[in-house]
Structure 1
Amino acid sequence: MVAAVAGALFALGVVAPGPAAAPSPRAAQADGPTAPDPREPRPPLLPADFQGTGRYIVRDLGIDVPFSWQGRDGNSQMTAGGPDHPIWFTNLIYENTLYTLTYKWPNIPLFPPRACSKVPGFFNRQIFNDKLKTARYVGPEILQGEKGRHVDHWRVGVVGGSTVPGEFFRFPLALGDIYVDQHDPSRWWQVLQFGLQNLFDPELDEWFTMDTFDHRPGQVTLPDRCPPPTS
């Protein structure tokens, strides 16, 4: 689950359960002559206050469920599915702490009481946005659909092991493809996340796509079963 491309990738997981096959990408390069783009695109930014709705997709499991992402005063919460859907989880950045709680996932025995995972260490929106500043710009694209949204495509990753490429063993932990509005990089429209944060998904990759994304304060609620945040 995303929990944490917003935490893991995002401590870039932001942190979803496991394996899934990704849907066919909805993004397509804009047609027309290849003229130089004079824009200086800004990397993705997670705003302090926002609310959006869309779909969470685990293609290899045939799952396509409602998804919401909300932020308030720098805290944020993702929720996919619900009690009437085949998957149901929530991921939070809450008071400098990263959480993920999975209620339901196909073929995974989640015996009660289902634990809420508090990722060790200090993590907040500023740390997340600092990581997003290292994202690589892929290019301008159009998300095909009713809206035909013009987006900037970015890629961000996390690698474990040595910081010296080629000298010692290194291994990829997480990778995210992020599609944000060309005029407002704090407006997110689509994310593909791949990596260890998707451990419940057989193919280790999951999508979310947004139908709405507004800069109005949302509602962020830490579930009762989650331990209190760090001080």
Structure 2
Amino acid sequence: MGWKGTRRTAASAALAGVIALVLAAPPQVGAEPRSGAAQSPGTAPSSAAAPSFGTVAARQDASPTPPPPRLPRNFRGKGKWIVRDLGITVPFTWEGRDGDSQMTAGGPQYPIWFTNLIYRNTLYTLTYKWPGLTEHPCSRIPGFNLEMLNEGFEKARFVGRETLRRTPQRHVNHWRVGVVLPKLPPGNYPRLPLALGDIYVDEDNRGTFWQVLQFGVQNLYDPELDEWLVMDTFEHRPGTVTLPQRCEPPQ
């Protein structure tokens, strides 16, 4: 759901949700193996997924592949939205109620302020503030809902079991989702990675999202095309979802 601007497709928007993808002066990335996992310090998992802020350590467990991420109908959480190349970190909230959901990053006193919503089968994005941005329309993609987002997650690839080195440490399952165009068979064909996302969900609850990296056209306003969300809390109880007045249809 971390998509901004008017040039978005439902597919790329879904990946950002979450979708979805960043701590003030985050710790250096390094690996601290758990349960005897073998990995060189300072390296990411062997599947070449992007290293996460707060640090991840791969765990070489032999247990079966867990079920993919699934955003719940009701939840509420707080954390940070980080745009590392701009040196910007702002407060972040993510809430869901009865299948609708809303992300809000920053506020009027911050250099970045936007909100993204899945609201009554429509995807909305409204960017109030962003460095260098002069247009502030409310973009709409009708026909998009929570079920479509979770269907996208069903196609995610499992990267591995990892530990986010924070306080407290989080034991997570790391997933990779992406949209690559055009869809061609294996071989020497030109391809464009339209949108990619690394999703870190609690190893005991695939509906608890702790961290998301998103990269691609949904991050068009950022020079490096990547942004992070990092959650400090995530509770499974109804949140508050409010459609901004600017996004309401004309009477």
Global fold match (TM > 0.5): yes
Match of 1:151 among 130, 154, 172: 172
Matched, 1:50 2:50: no
Question: Structure 1 regions of 5+ residues with no counterpart?
Answer: 17-22
- 1:70 aligned partner, one-letter code: E
Q: Is 1:219 the equivalent of 2:240?
A: yes
Map Cα deviations across residues 156-191 of structure 1 (whole Å, 9 max, x no partner).
001222343447543111000000000001000000
Is the alpha carbon distance of 1:153 and 1:25 closer, same or farther for their aligned partners in structure 2, counting shifts above 3 Å? farther
Matched residue type, 1:63: I
What are the residue-to-residue correspondences of 1:108-123 with 2, within 5 Å?
108-110=133-135, 114-119=136-141, 121-123=142-144
Q: How does 1:70-109 map to 2 (within 5 A)?
A: 70-109=95-134
Give the CA RMSD over aligned residues: 2.5
Structure 2 CA distance for aligned equivalents of residues 68 and 105 of structure 1: 17
Amino acid at match of 1:14: G
Q: Which residue of 204, 209, 212 maps to 2:230?
A: 209
Letter in 1 for 2:125: T
Aligned mates of 2:169, 2:95 — CA distance in 1: 23
Residue 14 (structure 1) shift = 3.4
Give 5+ residue unaligned stretches, structure 2: 5-9, 20-25, 38-59
Identify the residue that residue 180 of structure 1 maps to in structure 2: 201
Q: Could you state the TM-score of these two structures normalised by the residue count of structure 1? A: 0.85
Structure of greater relative contact order (alpha carbons < 8 Å, 6+ residues apart) = 1
Counterpart-to-counterpart distance in 2, 1:99 and 1:25 = 35
Residue type of the alignment partner of 1:84: Q
Matches within 5 A, 1:11-90: 11-14=14-17, 28=31, 30-34=33-37, 36-90=61-115
Q: Percent identity?
A: 57
Q: What's the counterpart of residue 2 of structure 2?
A: 2
CA distance in 1, matches of 2:155, 2:161: 18
